Amino acid sequence: MLVEEVSYVIGVDYGTDSVRSVLVNAHNGEEVSSSVYYYPRWQRGQYCNASENQFRQHPLDYIEGLEHTVKACISQAGGAVAAAVKGISVDTTGSTPVAVNRAGTPLALLPDFRENPNAMFFLWKDHTSVKEAAEINEHATRFDINYLKYVGGIYSSEWFWAKLLHVLRTDEQVRESCYSWVEHCDWITFLLTGGNDVKQMKRSVTAAGHKALWAEEFGGLPPEQFFASLDPLLAGFRDKLFTDAHTSDKPAGQLSQEWADRLGLSTDVVVGIGAFDAHMGAVGGQIEPYYLSKVMGTSTCDMLVAPVEEVEDTLVSGICGQVPGSVIPGMMGLEAGQSAFGDTYAWFKDLLLWPVKNLLSQSQAIAPEVADTLLKELSDKVVPELSKQAEQLPLTEEGEFAIDWFNGRRTPDANQELKGAILGLGLGSDAPRIFRALAEATCFGAKSIVDRFNEQGVPVKGLIGMGGVARKSPFIMQMMADVMGMPIKIHRSEQTCAIGAAMFAATAAGLYPRVEDAMHAMGQGFDAEYFPDMARNQIYAKRYSQYHAHGALIEQETTSEKPLPTDVQEQVVRQNPS
């Protein structure tokens, strides 16, 4: 360990709804201070249209949040701490790209584009490019080299190229002004280091490998012919992007004078290469080889690492990619996940609160300020109370049932056109029973991911839970253990993504030689573990088979030309003899 005196690092975690920064003691991982900033434009629903799966975020939300949270952390800790800050690293959601000009400035920061959603960041869950993703998948079959083999064999509308092609096709003004296409995690580090030439931007191997089809085997990105023959609008775009990609233990540069002044820090502060939240979160959560690290928030991102030499000849189909160094340098990083996890519970909560939210404001009996207070109180209590009541319901093979594809399916086998479902409803189906079915469906979706890894030669030896759902919902975590038939241990930190970013900042700044050393010294450990009830596991196993049968029916309805496998047809008949 190289840390001999008290040094501090800052981890910045850009989530879907907010950005959080933490100031951390690099010697022992102590969280000295933290601050969170909710994106105001996002909170107002600007630039989004959920009915069209359009979710955009303005770069000003990111910039304002960065300055606010870092300055708040320094202020809380005392101004003298600023001189001892050695590094800062950033994680973001992904794939969340944006169109930029030659200088690397997002177009939305220019006067002509400031209110144009197509000039803003396309959030990971923006699925407006489903058609383009399907075209990429079909197009890839025409080549002798499988350019999709390191991203699970299926390209997703959540990812880099599909979103780029969509915006080039749909917005002529953006198309004419877009010089390059940049991930959020790469742009923030570029911003902090004062970059002014996008060709000099250091791109994250995490983003490049998992979302942009970059691989050393291809010499970087797939060849020009692959993109130009997909659509002439992509001709020449490859050369405007990047050839090299970098692991997050390396520095992107040092804090620019402008940002040093804005944040009250020194230009000696090292800025690390950025990465996606789940990948840095897995490090913050002290990932172990062959343990599936589940960051459970609005969606889930599931990370697994293994020695490269043990898995380099194994390709797991239908996941979000496997990339050397994307989580821990020197290890293979494999990613999977679910497009909706906490979002499913939030949707159901909003559904239940609709009458309260829309009718309470019209009440003549309650003052507006009282109505607002009541709405907030009810909103905070709905999911905990549903969990409490659902936990008391008997577990049987029958009853309400759900499929968790409310935001499409991320893995296994990405298909963002799929829809969620609730089945087996009757007049006795109340809110706790439906909530229980939704929770069960998200656990079944998680088990499908574990099964895919196991079936294709990468064994899952244990589970690590992180994020808001993991820490706040014992009911769902116990159900997860029961469904999986294996324990799940919950990381102590409530901010594993930001802590992971801090660990990478400490490594990039030279305080530790390897990120594993930073993880060992700065890790906070685990404070809960859920063990499976094997009697319940047997019942869940029978319901899990129904999950696959019902899911196959929904997929068949969505993709009518695709016949059901014979074994699934037989199972559907057994489950539905009529």
Crossing angle (nearest 10°) for helices 431-455 and 342-359: 160
Q: Are 285 and 331 in contact (CB under 8 A)?
A: no
Q: Is the pLDDT of residue 141 over 80?
A: yes
Q: What is the mean pLDDT of residues 294-311?
A: 93
**Does residue 163 sit in helix, strand or coil?**
helix
Q: How many CB atoms lie within 10 A of CB 451?
A: 15
State both tokens at 529. Answer: 């573990």
Q: Are 438 and 404 in contact (CB under 8 A)?
A: yes
Q: What is the 3-state secondary structure (H, E, C) of 187-225?
A: HHHHHHCCCCCHHHCCCEHHHHHHHCCCEHHHCECCCHH
The identity of residue 324, as a single letter, is P
Q: Is the pLDDT of residue 426 over 50?
A: yes
pLDDT of residue 38: 98
Q: Which residues pair with 306 in a beta bridge?
A: 332
Q: Are 332 and 323 in contact (CB under 8 A)?
A: yes
- C-alpha 67/C-alpha 264 separation (Å) is 10
Residues 170-228: pLDDT tens digits? 999 999 999 999 999 999 999 999 999 999 999 999 999 999 999 999 999 999 999 99
> Residue ranges of the domains in the chain?
8-285+493-528, 342-491+533-575
Of 69 and 369, more confident: 69
Q: Are 332 and 287 in contact (CB under 8 A)?
A: no
Cα→Cα distances 345→262, 414, 532, Å:
39, 21, 23
Q: Is the pLDDT of residue 573 over 80?
A: no
Element holding 566 (H helix, E strand) = helix 566-575
Q: Are 299 and 337 in contact (CB under 8 A)?
A: yes
Q: Is the pLDDT of residue 285 over 50?
A: yes
Q: What is the 3-state secondary structure (H, E, C) of 110-140?
A: CHHHCCCHHHCEECCCCCCCHHHHHHHHHHH
Specify the pTM: 0.89
Q: What is the mean pLDDT of residues 276-288?
A: 96
pLDDT of residue 570: 52
Residues 466-500: pLDDT tens digits? 988 999 999 999 999 999 999 999 999 989 999 99
- C-alpha 79/C-alpha 100 separation (Å) is 35
What is the residue-averaged pLDDT of the chain?
94
Residues 27-57: pLDDT tens digits? 999 999 999 999 999 999 999 998 899 999 9
How deeply is 107 buried, as exposed, middle or buried, from its count of CB atoms within 10 A (0-12, 13-18, 19+)? Answer: buried
Q: What is the mean pLDDT of residues 231-258?
A: 97
pLDDT of residue 47: 97
Q: Is the pLDDT of residue 544 over 70?
A: yes
- C-alpha 559/C-alpha 414 separation (Å) is 13
Place of tokens 């992007």: 241
Name the band, by pLDDT with cuts 50, 70 and 90, for residue 450: very high
Q: What is the 3-state secondary structure (H, E, C) of 244-265?
A: CCECCCCEEEECCHHHHHHHCC
Q: Residue 563 carries which DSSP code?
A: P
Element holding 337 (H helix, E strand) = strand 331-338
Q: What is the mean pLDDT of residues 536-544?
A: 98
CATH C-level class of 342-491+533-575:
alpha beta
Give the right CATH number for 8-285+493-528 from 3.40.50.150, 3.30.420.40, 3.10.20.30, 3.40.630.30: 3.30.420.40
Q: Are 305 and 287 in contact (CB under 8 A)?
A: yes
Chain CA centroid to CA 347, Å: 18
pLDDT of residue 568: 45
Please indicate whether the domains covering 8-285+493-528 and 342-491+533-575 agree at the CATH topology level: yes
**Distance between terminal CA atoms of the chain?**
67
Q: How many CB atoms lie within 10 A of CB 7?
A: 18
pLDDT of residue 572: 42
